[in-house]
Structure 1
Amino acid sequence: MISFSYIHNDNKYIEELIKLLNSQWPRSEYSRKASIEKSNDNFPFYLIMKLKNDELTVEETEEVIGCLTISTVLNNDKDSNVSLLLENVLIKSKYRGKGYGKLLMIEGHKIMKKKGYKISYLSTNDKQEFYKTFGYIECDPISTSNFSSCISSNSSGSSSISKEKNEDNIDDSEKVSNLLRIFGGNSKLKKTNTNLVWMKLNLE
């Protein structure tokens, strides 16, 4: 059985979430935890997807098999007060190709609508067709969010957007930028990756 929760309301799964994220986008545990601890009811937040697993211990009957983040858009255009940014969509490798990515996306959209938002943005390198199945269309780039992400593609069946970079492979200026992102820097720089495609969904 599948269930969903916010990581800040289910913090016993923080270490498991860190392992899941680092399996796709390696990063220091300290930086990862600092980012996760920003999660809150009013954005930004990490949504985790759990699966009841009879093979686990009595104390831990559910396994974290997926996650995503939703954050506010900080650009100053006409949509900024009604739009959100969907990021870090990830399904654990052994559960990919089973439809869990679709369920995760549906839950994310349901939360956005419940909170009264009308537009969802995301970006991807190569999973446009997957997102089009939910009604996303290509659009102009937007400014960064509270999680202020760097984008990377996900090898799973359901594409992914990540703020994670391997910090061992970037220069000092990028490390400073990443620290600002982790701790709430509100950069308004647009993404410059030429392979990056921005997409938009009307949630109404």
Structure 2
Amino acid sequence: MKNIMQTIALLEMALTCATLLVWLLQRNFEAQMPVAARIILALLLTNLFYWPLGLFMQLPLAAYIRGVTGDLSVVSLLLLWSSVLLDRIDPRNTEAHFVPMGFKVAIVVIAFSFYPFALGLGMLDPYGWGYASIGFLIAVSIFAAILAIANWSKGTFIIALAILAWSMHWHESANLWDYLLDPFLMLWALLACISSMRRKRRERLQSGFLFRAG
């Protein structure tokens, strides 16, 4: 069973690295690739990261990268894979991957509330809630329902799959938090929020300049 989990983890990391390369290629060449082409290219690159290259490497590239980053949450994986491989991408516009700003802000708020206490600040231990806490599971389900009400069904689907993966012990961790949140997801959401605030500020300044009297 442990070998199966490790194989799954390596495949996930290999596909994640391949997906990031596909995204970088589209950004650098400013080209819109068809969905089928993106998927095929990602699968080909996945093999590059999954299989040992021999010579100077005894392990796959994905194993070395995983050793540094650890396992990503299911939410991070599904957001990345679906946004880059399945959604329509405008390489000149990073906001083309439509993820509601409210979701990004929620991730930042939750992460900044969670990590300090999980790392030992204070007596509260929110990480412990992830071990089969009915209350926490209900709270996550309510959050998923709010995403559906906000008309972002993709987010609801992603949260539901994360819960399903946790219930099936898809990863080595038995804690629901590890399926929902990771530092890279927090960093992405934080940078996206900062970028959005800067862009809105720049737009206000430009609007004020254009419509300035005289």
Q: Normalization by structure 2: what TM-score? A: 0.24
Larger radius of gyration: 2
**Which structure has greater strand proportion?**
1
**Which structure has greater helix proportion?**
2
Q: Normalization by structure 1: what TM-score? A: 0.25
